Chain A
């Protein structure tokens, strides 16, 4: 026979104003197995907790029901309190009388009736509470950072500086991500390469960091503290232990192909470093375009390499390693505007370019050495139209969200153009100017002082006429339809998730939002954690943001990793699923429904009816299970049960609500 104690909290007037607490206590006293019931003004306070501890001793209580705020708020508080008594901390039920009762009701009679129902259910459930225990999970103090852009590099550096080994996986041949492609950074206009490449060098030379370039994460299993990760490093066709990065091979290579680093505005060789300051500072062979690898004829690089570092027979390297924590920093890509904006030429006009292409045009180390010229004829454009919100804030054709950084880099592009072409004219079509950030609005106003003419309205159409690009728009501020003859148009396009965001997200058990951005655990209070323990987010993979925000989030993620690594062992969740061997028929429904990949099927041999039988049963990994309960619903034989929320307990709650 259990002896239940019921405490109903006033929460000041939060609950007491809408719920007759006295009456709830009186009803609670009549419920089965309730040995004690009382009210309290502030149950969570020191005095309130002391009163419960005293009641436990005085009335020999063995479990507690507290009618108070949401368990999200104080369940942990009360569990800690119980751990100081003789009662197991899980012999506790919280009836949510505040968020789900007093706050949503105005009528006191209705509120009181509902509160009584909630207490009845909690008492019925509490009667079947079992003591639960946590396990300790060892923590493997090595971190994996996926993505070598500015966020990934910052996270890797911070974790490495905290003294923990880090592996950084980058899918491109070099670190740097999108930031290293940029020319200057707003609002201070410091050169992007000048602040990004030193970070790349720091990462490349840090004794605690291992960089795997041209690499991708292929498989992940395990759980917080113990992730088993398979990484595939694609063949580079060069022995990096011999190569010194002298660059002779690159100068002699006869094959040229458009450079993706230059956004298609320049060419590179088939054996190449994407840019001069690349880290690792050694070339790779692009197997798709290399003559030797495609036709078997050529081999120039092998002949000229003074160190014999070329390896045409190189293959992918697959390694499997264990990590304690993972930081995901896979960044973003720009929306494929050509496929959705036919009215802007759909990519047919060479002089309608993206913002990232403009960055390369204006960059001193770019294909034009920083001269702003039209891609079509190499002439200096005398009038430039900048169009903002291309693909952003356009739920019909693009994305519904604001990409956050475009207002600022749009202003920066106008400023840079007018700086390089002082007699040029620059028109900026915008819907709103959003400049939240230190010095951001001042930067935008300065751009207007530079002479950029801001026109409030979306461009409706861009078409070619007499070698000019005619932009049709409206200036909604003066209520006029306007046209501008432009020599070049720069589209400030939306940020969208990286290609592999969906694949990686599903592999890591990270939820994606409607646009496939990786979701944080809580938008305000847990902005760098994911719903999977031990996996953190940094930078734009979580949503559009600028460089300062990416760096800040990366350092925050690194801090979370450091906090995790400060422990030798972790306490596992006690309220997890478990399978009853006697009932499990090995159907595997639980395996496919589990969002955390926490359940596996195992063959076991056991004696049943004095016979030895071998059959498949499901097994829950206690480190991975987050206690969501999806498997208990999917289980047809009823073998799967959630500790702390057993089927029996739930049914007793329903009975209490309907029958008591």
Chain B
């Protein structure tokens, strides 16, 4: 176990943690660490720091520790935590804000998740909606996991989840404008 010297944590660190949280509309001191977020989290098994621990790190002003953890990158943003939190802390948004901060500073402890994000947003930007086949293909390419999920292709084909036709929306331009505006305003990516 590493010893953390809490006095060495600068006031700036605490301010930064509060700023990240504020971007998600979260007051860090609202969290009383009950753990209900983590208890219901479907991804917690794959995390190093679970949602409660990510918030705890921020409460202590350990921004780097929170950002370097895979927890926020593994988060699926399913929002179960936010819906169930007794203190009204929007944990899902907070995980996103932590991820966003990390990406901005070149910290991507779970690079595949980042690549998937990029592929997903690009997909929306190009077609106005998500195209599973293209998303999967692009992700497999950029991540290098070329054969990932290949076994699922026949089943997805048979159920019409993927097919030869590329789906899109009529007014792709408008959707692209929305995506660009969100990205410009400091949204994810």
Which A residues contact B (CB, under 8 angstroms)?
A: 383, 425, 427, 445, 448-449, 451, 453, 455-456, 475, 477-486
**B29 contacts A by Cβ under 8 Å:** yes
Known A-B contacts A477-B33, A479-B1; A485 and B7 likewise in contact (beta carbons under 8 Å): yes
**Any chain A CB within 8 A of the CB of B158?**
no
Could you say which residues of chain A place their CB within 8 Å of the CB of B7? Answer: 383, 425, 483-486
Given A453-B60, A477-B56, A448-B29 contact (CB < 8 Å)? yes
Pairs of residues from A and B, 7 with the lowest C-beta to C-beta distance, nearest first: A485-B7, A448-B29, A478-B56, A481-B3, A480-B4, A482-B4, A484-B6
A447 to B, closest residue via Cβ: B29
Q: Does B149 reach chain A (CB closer than 8 Å)?
A: no
A324 to B123, CA, bound (A): 90
The answer to whether the Cβ of B59 comes within 8 Å of any Cβ in the partner chain is yes
B76 at the binding interface (Cβ < 8 Å): no
Known A-B contacts A477-B56, A478-B53, A478-B60; the reply to A483 vs B6 at CB < 8 A is yes
Nearest CB of chain B from residue A135's CB, rounded to whole Å:
61
17 A-B pairs with C-beta separation under 8 A: A427-B6, A445-B32, A448-B29, A453-B6, A456-B33, A475-B60, A477-B53, A478-B56, A478-B57, A480-B1, A480-B4, A481-B1, A481-B4, A482-B4, A482-B5, A483-B7, A484-B7
- Given A477-B33, A478-B56, A449-B27 contact (CB < 8 Å): yes
Q: Hey, which chain A residues are within 8 Å of B2, CB to CB? A: 480-481
Does the CB pair B27–A483 fall under 8 Å? no
In chain B, residues 55-77, which have Cβ atoms closer than 8 Å to a Cβ of chain A? 56-57, 59-60, 62
Given contacts A453-B59, A478-B57, are A483 and B4 in contact (CB under 8 A)? yes
The A-contacting residues of B in range 1-16, CB under 8 angstroms, are 1-7
A297 to chain B, nearest CB (A): 53
Chain A residue at minimum C-beta to C-beta distance from B62: A478
Chain A residue at minimum C-beta to C-beta distance from B56: A478
Having A477-B52, A478-B60, one finds 6 other A-B pairs with CB under 8 Å, namely A445-B30, A475-B4, A478-B53, A480-B60, A481-B1, A484-B6
Closest beta carbon of chain A to B84's beta carbon, Å: 19
Give the Cβ gap from B163 to chain A, nearest Cβ, in Å: 48
A483 to B6, CA, bound (A): 6
In the complex, what's the smallest C-beta–C-beta distance from B8 to chain A, in angstroms? 8
Report Cα–Cα, A656/B113, bound state, in Å: 84
Question: From residue A239, how far is it (CB to closest CB) to chain B in Å?
Answer: 57
Smallest CB-CB separation from B57: which chain A residue? A478
**Please, which residues of chain A bring their CB within 8 A of the CB of B53?**
477-479
**Chain B residue nearest to A449 in the complex (CB):** B29
> How many angstroms from the CA of A484 to the CA of B7 in the assembled complex?
5
Q: How far is the CA of A479 from the CA of B3 in the complex (A)?
A: 10
A455–B7 Cα distance when bound, in Å, is 13
Q: Is the CB of A483 within 8 A of B56?
A: no
- For the complex, give the distance between the alpha carbons of A475 and B56 in Å: 10
Note all chain A residues with C-beta closer than 8 A to B6: 427, 453, 455, 482-484
Residue of A nearest to B53 (CB): A478
How long is the Cα–Cα vector from A448 to B30 in the complex, in angstroms? 8
- State how many angstroms separate the Cβ of B186 from the closest Cβ of chain A: 27
Most B Cβ at <10 Å: residue of A445, A453, A455, A477: A477
Contacts of B29 in A (CB 8 A): 445, 448-449, 451
Contacts of B32 in A (CB 8 A): 445, 448
Complex-state Cα separation, A36 to B53, whole angstroms:
75
Between A383, A480, A483, the greatest number of chain B beta carbons within 10 A of the residue's beta carbon is seen for A480
Q: Which residues of A contact B57 (CB under 8 A)?
A: 478
**Chain B residues with CB under 8 A of A453:** 6, 59-60
Give every chain B residue within 8 A of A475 (Cβ-Cβ).
Answer: 4, 56, 60
Most A CB contacts (10 A, CB to CB) among B3, B29, B57, B62 go to B29
Nearest neighbor of B29 in chain A, beta-carbon distance: A448
Give chain A residues whose Cβ lies under 8 Å from the Cβ of B1.
Answer: 479-481
Chain A residue with Cβ nearest B49:
A478
Docked Cα-Cα span, A482 to B3, in Å, equals 5
Bound-complex Cα distance A455 to B2 (A): 16
B58 to chain A: closest CB distance in Å? 10
Q: Complex Cα distance A477/B2, Å?
A: 14
Chain B 107-144 per-residue mask, 1 if CB under 8 angstroms from chain A, else 0: 00000000000000000000000000000000000000
Q: How far is the CA of A107 from the CA of B83 in the complex (A)?
A: 51
Please give, as numbers and ranges, the residues of chain B lying within 8 Å of A486 by CB-CB distance. 7
Q: Which residues of B contact A448 (CB under 8 A)?
A: 29, 32
Cβ of A458 to closest chain B Cβ, rounded Å: 16
A425 contacts across to B, CB distance below 8 A:
7
Chain A residues with CB under 8 A of B4: 475, 480-483
Q: Are A483 and B3 in contact, with the CB atoms below 8 A? A: yes
| Shortest Cβ distance from residue B137 to the other chain A in the assembled complex, whole angstroms | 41
Q: How far is the CA of A486 from the CA of B5 in the complex (A)?
A: 11
Are A483 and B5 in contact, CB atoms less than 8 angstroms apart? yes
Q: Which residues of B contact A479 (CB under 8 A)?
A: 1, 53
CB neighbours (8 Å) of B56 from chain A are 475, 477-478
Question: Chain B residues with Cβ under 8 A from A383's Cβ?
Answer: 7
Chain B residues whose CB sits within 8 angstroms of the CB of A484 once the complex forms: 5-7
Min CB distance B79 to A, Å, is: 23
What A residues does B30 contact at CB under 8 A?
Answer: 445
Which residues does chain B contribute within 8 Å of A482, judged by CB atoms? 3-6, 60
Q: How far, in whole Å, are A541 and B64 apart by their CA atoms in the complex? A: 51
Residue in chain B with minimal CB distance to A479: B1
- In the bound complex, what is the Cα–Cα distance between A383 and B56 (angstroms)? 20
With most chain B CB atoms within 10 A of its CB, the pick from A448, A455, A478, A485 is A478
Q: Which residues of B contact A477 (CB under 8 A)?
A: 33, 52-53, 56
**A122 CB, min distance to chain B CBs, angstroms:** 55
Which residue of chain B lies nearest to A481 when distances are taken between CB atoms in the complex?
B3
Cβ of B3 and Cβ of A480 under 8 Å apart?
A: yes
Q: How many whole Å from A596's CB to the nearest CB in chain B?
A: 50
In the complex, what's the smallest C-beta–C-beta distance from A431 to chain B, in angstroms?
13
Which residues of the partner chain A approach B3 to less than 8 Å between Cβ atoms? Answer: 480-483
Report the separation of the CA atoms of residues A486 and B62 in the bound assembly, to the nearest whole angstrom. Answer: 19
Taking the closest CB of chain A, its distance from the CB of B184, in whole angstroms, is 34
Q: In the assembly, what is the distance between CA of A425 and CA of B11, in Å?
A: 9
* A455 proximity list for chain B (CB < 8 A): 6
In the assembled complex, which residues on chain A have CB atoms less than 8 Å from the CB atom of B52? 477
The complex places the Cα of A480 from the Cα of B62 at a distance, in Å, of 11
**Assembled-state Cα–Cα distance A456/B3 (Å):** 15
A481 and B60 CA atoms in complex are apart in Å by 12
User: Nearest CB to that of B27 among chain A residues?
Assistant: A449
CB distance from A336 to the nearest CB of B (A): 30
Q: How far is A588 from B29 in the complex, measured between Cα atoms in Å?
A: 68
| Chain A: CB-nearest residue to B31 | A448
